[in-house]
Structure 1
């Protein structure tokens, strides 16, 4: 990387990072942030004089890694994300087959770049642009790029080349850059069993997602759905829209969990004394809530909306895996705790903190967790994940034959 930010600018960036961490960073373990800052101070002279901006960025990320929290990153505007699910719309798992280690496409998001290229779960990645792509090195894809992938598409080793085109991210609001996937899809599997696949809880506050979800449920119920599978495998998380999903799982208003800000964590709190709030059902409701909490601490207990009885109540299965994260985990944990659904699959990622983005100068952004999420009993999901009721792993042989559910 040729561009070099002068030492004086780097010092300002580091100072802003320290200030943001001290004021806003949320740690489940209640980390000693002053001690962290002293460690950063020891490394600051060397960071300021590094000959390459890439080395400076890596050094800052190394410092941030010692905060031991999810939703933490340091990047420059326009940076390409590391994970394939943020670019080509697919997750990868390392598997042993054909006498070696290969990346298997595990979750392939509907209508995403990988899916449009004809890639399906179970396909095996051989190379990218002619260069072998083997675990543990994760292949990198850039926004606006076009890639030729060589993939194995059958259990007997049939190989074909596909072209994957990665678009530019469309969102202009401050968040980690990624290609936003189609939020959900639905269909009937049998005359009575409906499938709801959720990849991303779209929209900043969940209102847009809620409307899409409502239409999906209306369609499923009109087709006689009284058994429901909610597929959260590979779910990237997203917005408050997850509260609308879990509201469909129970008839009454009950606590989903509660969030705690850094400020409230420092002074102490009693969960019983936190305000109880249900997700607003309209933009007007959102504006009223924003006005209400603009002058007070944002720690609160989130309630379901009380949507009444549904034909599928008592007959719900939720699918999860190691790529289910953030809001997807919050939904899954609620379903398990309340016994409103049976969880099937693999333990989730354990990445459940609310985040914000801070401009720290020279085009750099700091992505930082600013509040924690807790189950009603006071235990966190962050770092531990959600354990399924029934452990089932994806079978590569079945996936490559097109057998998933």
Structure 2
């Protein structure tokens, strides 16, 4: 018999560029915030799972040493952009199995240490060694999707316009300024057809969550947010042709998550999806069956993915506005969903939100759609 799992504490620091702060100093305030949010004695925490891609050895121990939360099992996880959503998955699994009742999840990253530019990838990968950095890969996705389905430059730019508008309402977002279609299209070219404002900003940040079994969650909060599904999968190695217009790993993960949760896409009120580039959000509309194949541009243009629409996608501003400190992203997405389902999202609150979804993919390596994908579904 498995145990039900809930989130009782959530915390994050504003995303941005903080070159003067260490990784540990970025993260421990988010952990303290999550503990205080849960109203929990830190001594009740039985284990911790820390996700980071570039944080270095023993990141979790360095962070928790700052607040004296040591002497417990601390597991550090790297899974590219899915690092902290992978940590969340394993935290959920450990509670669901009955191993622990109360665990901590941390996501943290400090990208300013690289000084700018694209993320450093492994040169032993033959695609990377030939210049396949992430903006180039997503530009290829965009070009092929535009060719296949008639997506326009304006529709592509509207993703950034929408998410910047959402991010303006989020005090934790890195980019808090509205933009227009014209400004997006006129921004510096990165990889055709993507311009600067269609690419997520690099930065630093951290987020944390307290996960409990349902039997102890009421000890801490009267409004725990239940986790209905926690799905983690990896890409399938496919040499040769890959259809860049549809993310096989997300489609497969979504089908598994719907089955585990016992609901379908029509039940979802809000979704935090991995919009590292504008085209990504559009293809994820289709991967989650929020709209039919080839209809993502129209779905967005008709207002179905913003407030008052069918499903509010990235109310936080998403990676395009909130920012994308790689290892912090999955945990931060979960924090946003939890706050929305509690009715604590302020000006960006999704009215009547009852079901939320978070989704983070990780990595671009030769032969894979993505290296990892983690999807969580939550309910109040």
Normalising by the residue count of structure 2, what TM-score does the alignment of the two structures yield?
0.28
Report which of the two has the higher share of strand.
1
Q: Which has the larger radius of gyration?
A: 1
Normalising by the residue count of structure 1, what TM-score does the alignment of the two structures yield?
0.26
Report which of the two has the higher share of helix.
2
